[in-house]
Amino acid sequence: MKLARWAGFAVVSVAVGAGAQAPAPAAKLQRAELKWCQGYPCLEAQFGTGTKLRLLLDSGDQASIVDTEAARRLGLATTPALGADGKPVPGYARAVLADLRMGTVRLGDVPVLVSDLAGYMAKNQMPKADGTLAYPAFAERLLEVDYEHSQLRASDRLNTSIACSGACGALELVTFGKHGPPIVVGSGFEINGQRVRAQIDTLFGGSMLIYPAAVARLGLQHEAASRARQFFPYTDGGVTMLRAKATEEGFAGRALLRSAPLYFATPGVHVPDGLFEATVGGAFLAHRVLRLDFHDHWVGIEG
């Protein structure tokens, strides 16, 4: 979910081979209970001496964000947030969640932006929470999001490689559009048997969204002409998408959903300038385990 947009980020792309690989030693994983904030994954976290807050798990943005009022209530020390030009960005500050932890997962000090999220929540443009926890908090770690058992698992920072086993693809960090922040993109996703690279967004509630630049290549012109609509309150500040149906949606040669909802962008949807073809969200990942290795750069889906 992209509430803040920051200029000056370059594309970071690290690819690994997709497909099954030989088993490797398993990483030791710590665990935290996944809560559900209006149907979206969130975590009860604590920092410092034990102060608690509720954070939405957001794989769709680079910046973790804490609400201004929550930061005041929690006693966070803030400094001005500077943009690429070195000047303060209006409406944003910086802070650090010291010794952040959820369950037995220990993330250490996590930098965050501080901004008025209450305004988004009041307009029903964001699930109610104290803030968001973005993917950089799990840098160099193996992260597992178990939708079936409502559990998050994460390793400590890895200093050895853990190969992906089972259904695997490459993990990349690609800017969302030519000037957007780098976000999590995986290869190996499939629509009607055709491979697509897709953003993995835990705060998108749909199954698979196909962007305009990929429609013709994928032969989805008929589906993209659908007149059916569905509103997503927490994507791009609340947006309506076109809804059609896919024969199947899958990953690494395995169909995960059949006769499944398929979505297309309307003018209100931000698009990635052709840098990848799709976004997958909660309806695609439901009842499965999403595995993201931010050390060796692979994505896996189990279940």
pLDDT band for 2, please (50, 70, 90 cuts).
low
Evaluate if residue 112 carries a pLDDT over 50: yes
Write down the domain spans for the chain.
29-149, 168-302
Evaluate if residue 229 carries a pLDDT over 90: yes
Q: How far is the C-alpha of 48 from the C-alpha of 65, rounded, in Å?
A: 17
Note the pLDDT tens digit of each residue in 93-108: 999 999 999 999 999 9
Q: What is the pLDDT of residue 96?
A: 97
Instruction: Give the tokens for residue 31.
Output: 């665990």
Q: How far is the C-alpha of 261 from the C-alpha of 257, rounded, in Å?
A: 9
Determine the straight-line distance between the first and last CA of the chain, rounded to whole angstroms. 25
| Alpha-helix runs per DSSP H in 32-113 | 68-74
CB neighbourhood size of 94 (10 A): 17
Note the pLDDT tens digit of each residue in 251-295: 999 999 999 999 999 999 999 999 999 999 999 999 999 999 999
Q: What is the pLDDT of residue 49?
A: 84
Written as one letter, the residue type at 37 is C
Query: Tell me: domain 168-302, CATH 2.120.10.30, correct?
Result: no
Q: How far is the C-alpha of 92 from the C-alpha of 38, rounded, in Å?
A: 26
Note the pLDDT tens digit of each residue in 127-143: 999 999 999 999 999 99
Domains 29-149 and 168-302 share a fold: yes
Q: What is the pLDDT of residue 179?
A: 83
Evaluate if residue 17 carries a pLDDT over 50: no
Evaluate if residue 81 carries a pLDDT over 70: yes
Q: Are 97 and 112 in contact (CB under 8 A)?
A: yes
Q: How far is the C-alpha of 135 from the C-alpha of 181, rounded, in Å?
A: 12
Mean pLDDT of the chain: 90
Q: Which CATH superfamily is domain 29-149 in?
A: Acid Proteases (2.40.70.10)
Q: Are 171 and 299 in contact (CB under 8 A)?
A: yes
Q: What is the pLDDT of residue 6?
A: 33
pLDDT band for 1, please (50, 70, 90 cuts).
low
| Alpha-helix runs per DSSP H in 33-117 | 68-74
pTM of the complete model? 0.90
Note the pLDDT tens digit of each residue in 153-175: 999 999 999 989 888 999 999 99
